[in-house]
Structure 1
Amino acid sequence: MSDIVLTAAVRQNLLSLQSTADLLATTQNRLSTGKKVNSALDNPTNYFTASSLDARASDINNLLDGIGNGVQILQAANTGITSLQKLIDSAKSVANQALQTAVGYAPKSTVTAGSIAGATAQNLLGNPVNATVTGAAIPGAAATTTKLTALTTPLTATDNLTINGKTIAFANSGGNQITATGATLDLTNATVGDLLNAIDTITGASSTVPPTPSSLGGTKLTLSTGTAQDLVIGGNAGTLTNLGLVAGTTVRGTTLPAGQTLTITPTVPGNPSTSITFGTGVGQVSTLNGLNAALAANSLQASIDSAGKITLTTTSDAASSTIGTIGGSAAGGGQPFAGLVAPAPVADPTVQGTRSALIAQYNNIINQITTTAADASYNGVNLLGGDTLKLVFNETGKSTLSITGVNFNPAGLGLSALTQGTDFIDNNATNKVLTALNNAGSTLRTQAAALGSNLSIVEIRQNFSKNLINVLQTGSTNLTIADTNQEAANSQALSTRQSIAVSALSLANQSQQSVLQLLRSG
C-alpha cells in the first residue's frame, strides 16, 4: 500500500498497536498452553533442553513396566519358595513319624559271647573262679584219714604225681614235706588228707579262699583248681590210675585277660571298624560303659547278664544291618568271643508295612515339590525353574541386574522319591532322609535370602526411576512453564495498552479529519 500516505504520528501509533497485539497474542498463547516456551523460536536453549529431559523421562518411564514385571517375577519365586519350605516341613513330619515307629526288625542282629567268670558291668575282665574235677572211685579210700598204703592198691615210693608241673613224690621215711613248689609224702603215715593238702598247697586252694579246697567224696577225689591258674594233672600213669585220676587240664572259669583285643568290621557301610583292647590301662576297656562308648561309632551296643555273658546287638538306628565280622585275640580259641558269627536281622512285616505307608506319603510330597517349583512362574519366567531374569534400569541399557534362577525340583534340592524295602527301613535310613530334607530347607532359606536381597534392589531402583522421572519432568517444566499470574497481569496490561493505542491512533487521525471537515464546509 505504498500509495497510501500515513503521517508519522499515525504510523507510530499503528506500529505500537501492532506490537501490543503481538504481545497480547503471545500472552494469550502462554495462558492457553501454560508454557512460556512452546517452540524453539521462543527459547531455543530451554526448548531443546526441556525436550531432552522429557525424552529421557519417557524412556525411563517405558522401562518401569519391565521393572514392575521383574518385581512380580521375584514375588512369584518367593511365593514358590515359601510353599516349597512348607512341603519340606511336611516331608520332615513324615520322616519323624518313621523315627517314632517301632524298630522294623525283631530280633535285630545279635551275638552273645561265652561266660566270663566273675564279669560285671563294672569289670568286664572278670575274676578267676575255682573249678573242680572229680576222679574215679578209689578202692579202700574210706576217709581222709585212710593211709595211702592202706588203699586197695597202695602207693609206693616209686609212685609220683604232678600238679601244675610241680611233683608230689612218695618216700618211706623223712616225714611229710609240703611246699608250694612240690611235696614229698612219707608213706609210713601219709593219709589221703595229706595228699589233698599237698595238692591244694600247690594250687593255692584252701578253706580261706572260697570255694572249699579239694575233698574226698565217698571214695572219689574232687580236686579244686584254685584261682591262680588252671589245674594240670600229670605223673606216673599207674599212680594216676591208683588215685582214680586222668592226666589233663581242668580250666578255671574263663576270664578276659588284659591285653586281649576285639575287632569288628563296619556294621553299616561308612561306619568305622571297631578295635578294642581290654584292660585297665589308658585307652583300654574294662567296663560296660567303656565298651558301649567304643561300639557306638559302629552302630552297636552291648549288655551283660548275671552269668557274665556279653551280648552285642545293633542299635535301633542300624536295625536292618548285620554285625560285621568279629575277630581279634578275644575271638581266638578258648576265648569268650570265639567263633561268633552274627545272624542277619529278621524283618517285622507289620512294622515294615507301616513304614511302607509312610514312604507313599513322602513320595506324594516329593511330587508336589516338582509341580510347585514348575508353577512358580510369572509372565513366562520361572526363577525356580532355572530361568534368568535381566532387568534394565536406564535408557542407555548400561545399568542392569541379572538374576540367575535355580532348579528347585526335587533333584535340585537333593531329594528323590523313596524306595520300598530300602528307605525308612530303620532309623539310619530315615536319618539319611532327614539330613537331605534339612539340607534342602537350608538351600531354600539361602535362596529366599538372595531373592529378598534382589527384590529389595529392584524395588529401590523402581522407586529411584519414578523419582528420577519426576525430577526430569520437573526440570523440563521449570524451563518451559509460564507464570499464569504474571501472564494474566500482562494480558490485562496489554489490553489496557491496546485500548490506549487505539485512542492514540484516533487522535493522530484527527488532523486529517479536520482537513476533511474544511473540504465539506467549502
Structure 2
Amino acid sequence: MQMSDVVLTAAVRQNLLSLQGTADLLATTQGRLATGKKVNSALDNPTNFFTAAGLDARASDISNLLDSIGNGVQVLQAANTGITSLSKLVDTAKSIANQVLQQPTGYSTKSNIQFTGTGAPTGTGGATSADLTTSKLNGGVYTFTNSAGTAATITIGTAPSSFNPVTKTAQVQSLAQLNQALADAGVNLAGSITGPDSLTLTSTNDGAGQVITGTAVPAAPVTLDAINISGNAAGGGAGGAVVAAVPDPISQQARATLVSQYNQILQQITTTAQDASFNGVNLLDGNSLKMIFDETGKSTLTIAGVTFNPNGLGLSQLTAGVDFTDNVLTGKVLTSLNAASTTLRSQASAFGANLSIVQIRQDFSKQIINVLQTGSSALTLADTNEEAANSQALSTRQSIGVSALSLANQSQQSVLQLLR
C-alpha cells in the first residue's frame, strides 16, 4: 500500500511535516557539532565554501615555501660561519707576518751604491754632514724609481726645501735633510758621506734585501723589491759598482719557516671556504642563492655568492727566499691581509643584511598563513555553543511535535473506542 492510499487528517499531516523539518534541522545541527564546521560542502554555502578553499590553498602553497626559506636561512648561516672562520685564519696569517717583522735583519750586508760628485763646490774642504754643497756633490740630481714606476727626485743645492708630495721633488743641503727627503719619498735608502766628494746610498733595514740598480735614466725596475737610481745630472756624478745584499742564513731560515706556516694558513683558507656549504649551496665558493617568497614566484631575492679562496681574497702562496726576506716585502703581505680582512667584513655585513631580509620574510609568511587560515575558518567553522543550544531546542521541539501528533490522532482513537 502506498502512502497516498493512507488518509491523514490535515492536522496530522501538518504535525508530520513539522516533525520532518525538525528532524532535518536536528540532523544538520548534529552534523555541524560532529565536524565543527557550518559549511562542509558547496551545497551548504557555495560562496563561503569556495572562498575558504581558495584561502586554504594559498596558505598551503606559502607553507610549502617555508621549507625552502628555512633552507635559505641555513645557507646564509653556513656562509656567515665560514666568513667568521676565514677572518680568524687571516688574523693568524697577520700574526705570522708580524713575527717576521720581529725577526733580526735578514741580511748581514745591505746593498749600496756610491756616487762621486762632479759639480762645482760652494766652498772647500769637501762634504760635511751639515753642508753637502761644499763638495763636488753640489748640484747633483738623483732620481729614485721604484718597481711601481713612481719616481722621486732629490737635488743637492743651496736652497733646501722639504719634500713636495705632489711633484715628488726636494732640494736639500745637509745630510739630515737628504735622509729626511728619502724617508718622505718612501725610498728605503739612507745616505752617508764616504769621501770628500762621495755619497753612498745604502738600503735601510726595512728594505735590506732590495736590489739597487744604477741607471743612466729613471726607469722602473722589474723586480718587486728593487729600486733604480739615476744620478747622471750635473754634480751627481756616475754611480759606482753596486754592492749586493748578503743574506744572513740563520735569519733567512727562520723567515723561510714562517713562509711555510703562512702557506699552510692559505691552504686552510681554501678548504674552509669549500666546506662552508649547506644542502649543496656554498655562497663562499661562487654559488648564488635564489629565494622565492610567494606562491606566484614574483617576490624573490637573489643572493650573489663570492669566491673566497686565497685568490679571491687577494692572497697568494709565498716562496721561501723570495718573500718575507725583508720588512718591505713583509709589509706588502700585511697590506694584502688587511685588504682581505676588509673584504671579509664587508661581505659579512652584506650576508647579514640578506639574512635579516630572509628572516623577516619567513616571519611574514608564517603570519600571513595564520591570517589566511583564520579567514577560512571564519567562513566555514560552526559556533559550537550556538549549535549545542540549537540541538537542545530542536530536541525539545521534536518532543513537543510528537505530543502534538498524538493529540491530532485523538479523534481517530475515539472512533476506535466506539468500534470496540
Same fold (TM over 0.5): yes
Q: Is the 1:313–1:323 contact (alpha carbons within 8 Å) kept by the matching residues of 2?
A: no
- Residue in 1 aligned with 2:232? 327
| Aligned positions of 1:33-52 closer than 5 A | 33-52=35-54
CA deviations on 1:28-79 (whole Å, 9 max, x unpaired) are 1111111111111111111110000000000000000000000000000000
Residue 150 of structure 1: aligned partner: none
* Structure 2 Cα separation of the partners of residues 457 and 513 of structure 1: 83
Instruction: Identify the residue that residue 472 of structure 1 maps to in structure 2.
Output: 372
Classify the secondary structure of the residue corresponding to 2:379.
helix
Provide TM-score, normalisation by structure 1.
Answer: 0.70
After TM superposition, what 4+ stretches of structure 1 lie above 6 angstroms from structure 2?
305-309
Aligned residue for 1:122?
130
Deviation at 1:480, TM superposition (A): 0.8
Q: Work out whether 1:66 is the aligned partner of 2:68.
A: yes
Mapping of residues 138-217 of structure 1, within 5 Å? none
Q: State the shift of 1:284 in Å.
A: 2.1
Q: CA deviation at 1:369?
A: 0.5
Question: Is it true that 1:435 corresponds to 2:340 in the alignment?
Answer: no
**Which of 22, 25, 32 pairs up with 1:23?**
25
Q: Given residue 456 of structure 1, which amino acid in structure 2 is its aligned partner?
A: S
Q: Provide the residue aligned with 1:261 in structure 2.
A: 140
The residue that corresponds to 1:270 in the other structure is: 148
In structure 1, what is the equivalent of residue 384 of structure 2?
A: 484
Alpha-carbon shift at residue 270 of structure 1 (Å): 2.1
* 2:141 counterpart SS class: strand
Aligned length: 385
Bigger Cα Rg = 1
After TM superposition, give the deviation of residue 446 of structure 1 in Å: 1.2
How far apart are the structure 1 equivalents of 2:417 and 2:92?
A: 113
Give the deviation of 1:111 after TM superposition: 3.8
Alignment of 1:392-403 (within 5 A): 392-403=292-303
- Residues 87 and 71 from structure 1, CA distance in 2 versus in 1: closer, same or farther, beyond 3 angstroms? same
1:286 paired with 2:173, answer yes
In 2, the alpha carbon distance for the partners of 1:272 and 1:56 equals 66
Q: Could you list the per-position Cα deviations for residues 419-439 of structure 1 after superposition, in whole angstroms to 9, with x for gaps in the alignment?
A: 112111111211111111111
Partner residue in 2 for 1:96: 98
Instruction: In structure 1, give the amino acid aligned to 2:321.
Output: G
Deviates more, 1:367-376 or 1:272-281: 272-281
Match of 1:299 among 167, 170, 188: 188
* Structure 1 counterpart of 2:121: none
TM-superposed CA distance for 1:272, in Å, is: 3.4
The secondary structure found in structure 2 opposite 1:402 is strand
1:380 to 260, 280, 283: 280
SS at match of 2:242: coil
Structure 1 runs not aligned, ≥5 long: 127-254, 333-337
Q: For 1:312-391, what aligned pairs fall within 5 Å after superposition?
A: 312-325=201-214, 326-332=231-237, 339-391=239-291
Flag the 1:452–1:274 CA change in 2: closer, same or farther, 3 A: closer
Query: Which consecutive unaligned segments of at least 5 residues does structure 2 have?
Result: 118-123, 162-169, 215-230
Aligned-partner Cα distance in 1 for 2:137–2:345: 56
Q: Which amino acid aligns with 1:67?
A: I
Cα displacement (A) at 1:459? 0.4
Contact 2:116 2:239 (C-alpha < 8 Å) held by counterparts: no
Tell whether the 8 Å contact from 1:274 to 1:294 is kept in structure 2 after alignment. no
Contact 2:141 2:234 in 1 (8 A): yes
Q: Distance in 1 between matches of 2:110 and 2:141?
A: 21
**CA–CA distance in structure 1, aligned partners of residues 151 and 290 of structure 2:** 53
Contact 1:318 1:428 survives alignment (8 Å): yes
Deviation at 1:294, TM superposition (A): 2.8
How many angstroms apart in 1 are the aligned matches of 2:390 and 2:211?
A: 105
Inter-partner Cα distance in structure 2 for 1:395 and 1:257: 83
